Structure 1
Amino acid sequence: MAPVGVRAVSVAVIGCGFGGLAAVIELKRRGFDDIVVFEKAGDVGGVWRENTYPGAACDVPSPFYSFSYEPNPRWPHRFSRQPAILQYIRDVAARHDVLRHVRFGAEVTGARFDDGTGRWTVELAGGERAEFDVLVPAVGQLSRPALPDIPGRDTFAGPAFHSARWDHDVDLTGKRVAVVGTGASAVQFVPEVRRLAGHTTVFQRTAPYILPRPDREFSPLHHRLFEKLPITELVERATWFGLVEGLSVAWVYARPLATGIRAVSLRHMLNQTKSVPGLFDKIRPDYAVGCKRVLFSDDYLPALTQPDVSVVTDRITEITPRGLRTADGAEHEADVIIWGTGFRATEFLAPIAVTGAGGRDLHDEWRDGAHAYYGLTVPHFPNLVLMYGPNTNTGGGSIIYFLEAQARYLADYVEHLARTGGCLDVEEEVERTYDEEIQRRLADSVWTRCSSWYRSATGRITANWPLLSPQYRARARFRPADYRVLR
């Protein structure tokens, strides 16, 4: 049912993680109810449903990594683990009547805009099709695991799996485990794997900067305090907002602050590895702090100091049936390989085929790197609004803060569409001018100083927002003048 005085608008949302959830909740708040969420899995949760590896947790404090309108006074930890975050998503979806709109087990393979009807046809894996006025892809940037193109990768005789597709049927007890990658996931699961394995070999291509993680368990007293005096949890949220936003300030505006963060990180890393001669030299980063994602951990580096853990920095040249061969010619035998190699973050919306006005292919439009107006709308793709699209990732804050701003934009967009009729297509010059500004600001950023998942194969930074989170929220406002109306 549409709000009084406007026509009904049907909306298709792809994905039911935090992005899809934010979109549906805001649309329902504005009175729109003709919404279908296509979720290929059997549960809500997105990355927090998929990533079940041991030690999986968020590196943004939970009072901030949550919806502002849905505080949770019963977070078990300051940096909550995956099960608690997934349960939070489930609870929020239930409270806001989102589940009624979700079609589980419905994988979207394509979406096509019809120039004649001005509607989107969504195509499912089983061949079913359905038409909608507005299409909202909310598939995220970190949903498709990346596997390195190493010769012989499929010849390994033992179990091998990506951390985002953890095989819980594989017993690691006493095994020789090879971990490839030292990113955010590996930093969390290596200490857990090491406790079970007979020997763990960590293959490091690039060392991450690591900062202390000031985690704590919230006691029953904390929970009662947060429930009886909600202002206390708001203070906790505001405090962490300021602290993590300080990272964005360092990367964007205050390089002397970045120098200080680097010093704190290196001191932390040295203190945690000095018991093993030469280890600090192996794990010391050789690039500008902030260029890659800075990680938070108090147990990863101590795990590397244990006698049953080895760190290999030589390049992997081949996978053999027995293990991994490195550039120095050594073969490192293993019983299990765990790929901690991240995600195909720059391949936005893949593998979904998206065809816009005039038969334009979205992936062809983005062949040199994805771009969108405030990460939301793309010229020649009318009535398509992205959640967590290009250049809306944060270098220091909480993505949920961005998602709330995007959901507000989406709802304003749909409200205007319902009043005017037709289709809304962002003006090409408006989007181009915006994108040129964003790329100009990014060209002088720390993210240009190394390769990372923030950048596409062409070198274009497609993931990150170049300013502070509040600046995105203030600027990303729906303005009808930015769009042309197609009748």
Structure 2
Amino acid sequence: MPDDQGFEAMDFVASAGVDLDGVDLEALGRRYREERAKRVDDDRAAFVDLSGDRARYVADPFSAPEPRAAVTDTVELVVVGAGFGGLLTAIRFREVGFTRIRLIDTAGDVGGVWYWNRYPGAMCDVDSLTYLPLLEETGYVPRDRYAGSSEIRAYARRLAASHGLDELALFHTTVTGLRWDEDTAHWTTTTDRGDEIASPFVMIADGNFNRVRIPAIPGLGDFRGHSFHTSRWDFAYTGRDLGGLAGKRVGVIGTGATAAQVVPPLARAAEHLVVFQRTPSTVGVRANAPLDPDVVAGLDPGWQRERIRNFAAIVSGRRQPVDLVRDGWTDYHQAAPVPRDGEDAAAAARRGNLLHMEALRARVDATVHDPATAEALKPWYAYFCTRPVFHDEYLATFNRPDTTLVDTGGRGIERFSEDGVVVDGVEHPLDCLVLATGFAYGTPYTDKIGFDVVGRDGLRISEKYATRFSTLHGLMSRGFPNLFMIPGGNMQSSVTLNVLHTLDENALHAAGVAARTRELGARCFDVEADAEEKWVAECVTHARDNAEFLESCTPNRFNAEGDLSRRSLATSNHPLPVLEFFDLLRAWRDEGSLPGLELG
């Protein structure tokens, strides 16, 4: 594939003109530690129970469930979740001969997180030619370099329709339980609509961003204005063009990737916008632009797989001769310093990290006019402590006279009042409150998926994982035959920044295991105890390798809000770099005997 996709290569460090000469590295390290200490707060790991009168924060504002009769059925595969993980699972199972497949999702359509994330400005932060799967197969060319939410949602519907996956799909339906029947070698999936669906195989593809998270800050119920979470955007209140916000004071809680996208359009629409910040994000250049419809014309077959693997290699620290994507993600890694004489690779990486953070802080100074606001927007932690943000309008929005940043000094807001938000004893009156507070991460598995799984001999997955999280390949677990669970981060698998690449590799692996189980004449597989133990041991090693970096980071979802003691060593990724990991799975499948699995 040619390396010229019509995009300018961007070396953000060099363009910022920064270096470490004259930087007091000891003082910088001290500043990082001080900023981290400000944000360590046990209460920040607590979140609101979104049931009862607070269930409105998770209700579907986009479509209403239609009455239907309960379904009793037997199919070959049940997929819990109709996001891209569920869609790719169904597609890959179709490719190996499975035909009757049911998708079940609480949402009103396919798309997963992209069904929910419809807030103004919502878009993917990974290059669309890399992110959207099966582009060669569909012949689709994305409109922009970074696809917006509506285009991604439409593409998900295209995939579902072209593979006939919507024919048996059950939407606005919540799974309430899974139970294994040893006599029939089938799972029974039950739902809140009274459905009972039997299938030999089940995939739980619930996604990483399926549980709304709202911090347990006092007084949320006292606020008399309008409030909603960004993933349940209330267009009935704001209007599609946000015209409903004219003349209103709007507050945004959160300054992560979602806030960076939603703040600019809100600032243009509201009379006044107030952004409440606990921790500033690293904000790099996005450089979004329309794609030439002929951008992939004439490329050799396999161009997208090559692009996907090239991106994954670079962002996992494997410098490549050619960078096929060339954006903020890959530029950082491709521009990483080569070790100097007497300097080891780790020291060179630290130097590169410091350089990049200096460049990002310089970008804040160059963009934000008010010195105090600029200082508050500067991140003081290592790059990749939190997921980096890329946006071309977010920082400049704080130059608007109708936009105010309220920096909480790392403590977060104090409480909600009837009329607004209180920080350091000062009330900020608001008509509308937008909660850009993200999704739950690192919660117990059954809390994450919303139901329990009962396997062999009545073993509950909640009971097994209460002792220790244990799998083979992050995808299968002993005692739960023919069950696959697409792993998220820190679930004994491997992940790349392009999440859909990870989802597809897991879908391919599950389909390969299921197909081979049938080819070998078996009704079911289960994980051998020794194989599971060995796999967990390999992952625990990686947890120790990564602990020092995570402990140094500002509190966030990746390090259990700054207290790694809350997280078991077993909840870690596999130590192999991501492409080597996926190649390991492929070689394991190609061997043919399903080593580490018991067939019955």
User: Same fold judged by TM-score > 0.5?
Assistant: yes
Identity level (%): 29
Cα gap change, 1:111 to 1:75, in 2 (>3 Å): same
Q: Distance in 1 between matches of 2:84 and 2:503?
A: 8
Which amino acid in structure 1 is aligned with residue 314 of structure 2? G
Within a 5 Å distance, the mapping from 1:393-404 to structure 2 comes to 397-404=497-504
For 1:434, the equivalent position in structure 2 comes to 535
Give how far 1:378 is off. Answer: 1.6
CA contact (8 A) 2:248 2:272 kept: yes
Give how far 1:38 is off. Answer: 1.3
For 2:436, the equivalent position in structure 1 comes to 340
Q: Distance in 1 between matches of 2:509 and 2:306?
A: 23
CA contact (8 A) 2:202 2:484 kept: yes
Which moves more between the two structures, 284-293 or 388-397?
388-397
Give how far 1:39 is off. Answer: 2.4
Cα RMSD of the aligned pairs, angstroms, is 2.7
Give how far 1:73 is off. Answer: 4.5
For 2:259, the equivalent position in structure 1 comes to 186
Cα gap change, 1:260 to 1:9, in 2 (>3 Å): farther
For 2:557, the equivalent position in structure 1 comes to 453
If the length of structure 2 is used for normalisation, what is the TM-score?
0.73
Unmatched 5+ stretches in structure 2? 1-73, 238-243, 318-332, 337-344
Within a 5 Å distance, the mapping from 1:20-419 to structure 2 comes to 20-68=86-134, 69-70=136-137, 73-170=140-237, 171-218=244-291, 222-226=292-296, 228-231=297-300, 234=303, 238=306, 242=310, 245-249=313-317, 254-273=349-368, 275-314=369-408, 315-326=412-423, 328-347=424-443, 348=445, 349-367=448-466, 370-391=469-490, 397-418=497-518, 419=520
For 1:5, the equivalent position in structure 2 comes to none
Cα gap change, 1:239 to 1:210, in 2 (>3 Å): farther
Which amino acid in structure 2 is aligned with residue 145 of structure 1? V
SS of residue in 2 equivalent to 1:22: helix
Cα gap change, 1:463 to 1:400, in 2 (>3 Å): farther
Q: Distance in 2 between matches of 1:118 and 1:390?
A: 30
Q: Distance in 1 between matches of 2:265 and 2:572?
A: 30
| Cα offsets for 1:227-259 (capped at 9, x unmatched) | x42449938x85676456533315997444434
Q: Distance in 2 between matches of 1:422 and 1:234?
A: 38
SS of residue in 2 equivalent to 1:111: strand
SS of residue in 2 equivalent to 1:13: strand
SS of residue in 2 equivalent to 1:416: helix
Q: Distance in 1 between matches of 2:117 and 2:575?
A: 28
Unmatched 5+ stretches in structure 1? 1-7
Cα gap change, 1:333 to 1:243, in 2 (>3 Å): same
Give how far 1:472 is off. Answer: 2.5
SS of residue in 2 equivalent to 1:109: strand
Which moves more between the two structures, 359-368 or 415-424?
359-368
For 1:3, the equivalent position in structure 2 comes to none
Q: Distance in 1 between matches of 2:285 and 2:580?
A: 28
CA contact (8 A) 1:245 1:396 kept: no
For 2:32, the equivalent position in structure 1 comes to none
Cα gap change, 1:22 to 1:232, in 2 (>3 Å): closer
CA contact (8 A) 2:206 2:449 kept: no
SS of residue in 1 equivalent to 2:184: coil
Q: Distance in 1 between matches of 2:429 and 2:377?
A: 22
CA contact (8 A) 1:293 1:395 kept: no
Give how far 1:9 is off. Answer: 7.8
For 2:342, the equivalent position in structure 1 comes to none
Give how far 1:420 is off. Answer: 3.3
Give how far 1:119 is off. Answer: 1.9
Which amino acid in structure 2 is aligned with residue 480 of structure 1? L
Larger radius of gyration: 2
Give how far 1:438 is off. Answer: 2.2
For 2:341, the equivalent position in structure 1 comes to none
Q: Distance in 2 between matches of 1:38 and 1:379?
A: 24
Cα gap change, 1:12 to 1:295, in 2 (>3 Å): same
Q: Distance in 1 between matches of 2:187 and 2:433?
A: 42
CA contact (8 A) 2:246 2:269 kept: yes
Which moves more between the two structures, 43-52 or 410-419?
410-419
Q: Distance in 1 between matches of 2:531 and 2:552?
A: 29
For 2:28, the equivalent position in structure 1 comes to none
Answer yes or no: is 1:420 the counterpart of 2:521: yes
SS of residue in 2 equivalent to 1:41: coil
Q: Distance in 2 between matches of 1:265 and 1:435?
A: 38
Cα gap change, 1:323 to 1:357, in 2 (>3 Å): same
CA contact (8 A) 1:211 1:264 kept: no
Give how far 1:389 is off. Answer: 3.7
Q: Distance in 1 between matches of 2:99 and 2:372?
A: 61
Q: Distance in 1 between matches of 2:96 and 2:121?
A: 38
Which moves more between the two structures, 251-260 or 146-155?
251-260
Q: Distance in 1 between matches of 2:471 and 2:552?
A: 24
